[in-house]
Amino acid sequence: MKKRLTQALCLTICVLLLSAAPLLCLSSCGGDGGEKIRIGVLREDDTSGEAKAWEKYLRAMGDELGFSVDFTTTNSSSAEVSAINTYASKGYRGILLFSDDDLVASIQAAATKKMYIVYPTGQPTDEQYAQVKNNPYFLGSVAPGSDTEFQAGYDMAKFFVEKKQQTAFTVFGGATAYGADMHIQRLAGILTRLCEQEGTSYDGVRDRAALTAKVAGTGVDPAKFRSDTFRITGYMDGFTFDDAFTTKLTNSMEAGGTCILSVGAGDVVSRIAYGITSANGKIGSFMSGGVDAITAEYAECFDLGYTYDCGKYASAMAPGLILMLAALDGKRLTDADGNAPRIGMNYWVATSRAELETMLASDSPDRGYCYDAAVIRAYKAKSYAELVRLCGSDFDGARAIRDAVHAATGEAGS
């Protein structure tokens, strides 16, 4: 009798374990019926080297971590909301928002559909953040903050002034005239470093706050720059790289501004400058620097005259994935006040092709990513404070984090 009861009990346990197997698979795979979690990505840029690097990274991580990503290119707030609704109707679980025509509207649209949403390429303004920080479906933002953007411009100008002994500059202000805060801060950083020199000012002011106010929404007027040491021979902004842009750049370089400082699209500006110098023997050589991205396209530009590259890297998307996957695992990360985190991100900086190639060797689809699948698996179970440390790491710090994870877990992702 006792033997029969034992056999029956064992049979019952086996049945229960078999019944639970689909649920265990559901938990590990993240989708109904064992399907992968599906995440939609909204972006405005689908052609730049940075955009392509991020897409490759997200797809590679999806293959290893059990989710899939699909991309939609948008150009308006209504297009963002429409794409979110479409993804929701198809059963997608989350949104990575690279575009931001109306951040609040997009977050509210995702929340209405009970979809998690992360903003991994920018920061909400204080006013926007106040509206969304308590939304349970908004998981936070991860990107360089205003101070980091300012410092990026400041450090670039410092490099060319102190290391390269440059005194005459052409400045490209990107979307400063359109109110893009990241470009405004970078431009203010450039001017602040120049204005530290005795006898130098812009429109009568010299400090960060005043310079930021002067350039926001307007850009730089070279006629308002006064200095006994430096010159700004030309200023351009906007992203219409047409004949008019080339003419302005040519005129500025002919006037002596052969050191070009770009707050974005430094690769494009450098290629145009290289074409100008190749056809114009009066100018000679140039050097340039920019704040944008760590990509192979920028490495190539070092052979043309590009000398300083500061930017995001492919696996800079890891923190956004960590926030998303942690929430989908039932562990939503919040800041110390219980709100959606607004985390700053550090840039990587290279001042030679060899240095940039070293970075790419540690962060590429061919040779493995710095913040690889092993790092994401480890950090989606860690604390908010530990995620902040990851986001704030420079290149050496990021490699140290990866190596520590690999040593602790005995694994290495792609």
Q: With bands split at pLDDT 50, 70 and 90, how would you rate the model's confidence at 381?
A: very high
Q: What is the mean pLDDT of residues 323-334?
A: 97
pLDDT at 86 over 60: yes
Task: From 244, 246, 360, select the one nearest 302 (Cα to Cα).
Answer: 360
pLDDT at 17 over 60: no
Q: Do 147-312 and 33-142+314-347+366-409 have the same topology in CATH?
A: yes
8 Å CB contact between 265 and 174: yes
Contacts of residue 148, defined as CB under 8 A and 6 or more positions apart, other chains included, come to 344, 345, 346, 347
How many C-alpha atoms does 220 have within 13 Å on its Cβ side?
A: 34
More confident residue, 4 or 97: 97
pLDDT of residue 3: 44
pLDDT of residue 8: 46
Identify the bridge partners of residue 226 per DSSP, sorted by sequence position.
201
φ, ψ at 34 (rounded to 5°): 85, 5
Q: With bands split at pLDDT 50, 70 and 90, how would you rate the model's confidence at 18?
A: very low
pLDDT at 257 over 70: yes
The yes or no reply on domain 147-312 and CATH 3.40.50.2300 is yes
Q: With bands split at pLDDT 50, 70 and 90, how would you rate the model's confidence at 414?
A: low
8 Å CB contact between 135 and 109: no
pLDDT at 30 over 60: no
Helix, strand, coil share (%) of the chain residues, nearest 5? 50, 15, 35
pLDDT of residue 101: 83
pLDDT at 127 over 60: yes
Q: What is the mean pLDDT of residues 269-286?
A: 96
More confident residue, 17 or 102: 102
Task: Tokens for 169, please give them.
Answer: 């500059």
- Give strand ranges (E) for 110-269: 116-119, 138-142, 168-172, 201-202, 225-226, 231-236, 259-262
pLDDT at 32 over 70: no
Ordered DSSP codes for 295-341: SHHHHHHTTTTEEEEEEE-GGGGHHHHHHHHHHHTT-----TTSSPP
pLDDT of residue 65: 97
Task: Tokens for 196, please give them.
Answer: 């530290």
Q: Give, in degrees to the nearest 5, the angle at Cα 386 between 382 and 387.
A: 85
pLDDT digits (tens, 9 = 90+) for 160-199: 999 999 999 999 999 999 999 999 999 999 999 999 999 9
Q: Give, in degrees to the nearest 5, the angle at Cα 220 between 217 and 221.
A: 120
- What amino acid is encoded at 128 in this protein? Q
Listed by start position, the domains of the chain span 33-142+314-347+366-409, 147-312
Q: With bands split at pLDDT 50, 70 and 90, how would you rate the model's confidence at 285?
A: very high
Reported pTM: 0.89
Q: For a pLDDT cut of 90, what percent of the chain falls above it?
A: 88
Q: What is the mean pLDDT of residues 256-267?
A: 98
φ, ψ at 169 (rounded to 5°): -130, 145
pLDDT at 68 over 70: yes
Q: What is the mean pLDDT of the chain?
A: 92
pLDDT at 1 over 60: no
Q: Which residues of 167-176 are buried (b: 16+ CB within 10 A; e: fewer)?
A: bbbbbbbbbb
C-alpha 98, offset from chain centre: 9
Taking CB atoms within 8 Å and a gap of at least 24, the contacts of 30-34 are 30/66, 30/67, 30/93, 30/328, 31/93, 32/91
Q: For a pLDDT cut of 70, what percent of the chain falls above it?
A: 91
pLDDT of residue 33: 44
pLDDT digits (tens, 9 = 90+) for 341-371: 999 999 999 999 999 999 999 999 999 999 9
Q: With bands split at pLDDT 50, 70 and 90, how would you rate the model's confidence at 27?
A: very low
pLDDT of residue 413: 61
pLDDT of residue 192: 99
Q: With bands split at pLDDT 50, 70 and 90, how would you rate the model's confidence at 16?
A: very low
Distance between first and last Cα of the chain? 56
8 Å CB contact between 92 and 67: no
pLDDT of residue 355: 98
Q: Which residues of 286-301 are buried (b: 16+ CB within 10 A; e: fewer)?
A: bbbbbbbbbbebbbbb
Q: With bands split at pLDDT 50, 70 and 90, how would you rate the model's confidence at 28?
A: very low
pLDDT of residue 34: 57
How much is the CA Rg of the chain, to the nearest whole Å? 25
Superfamily for 33-142+314-347+366-409? Response regulator (3.40.50.2300)
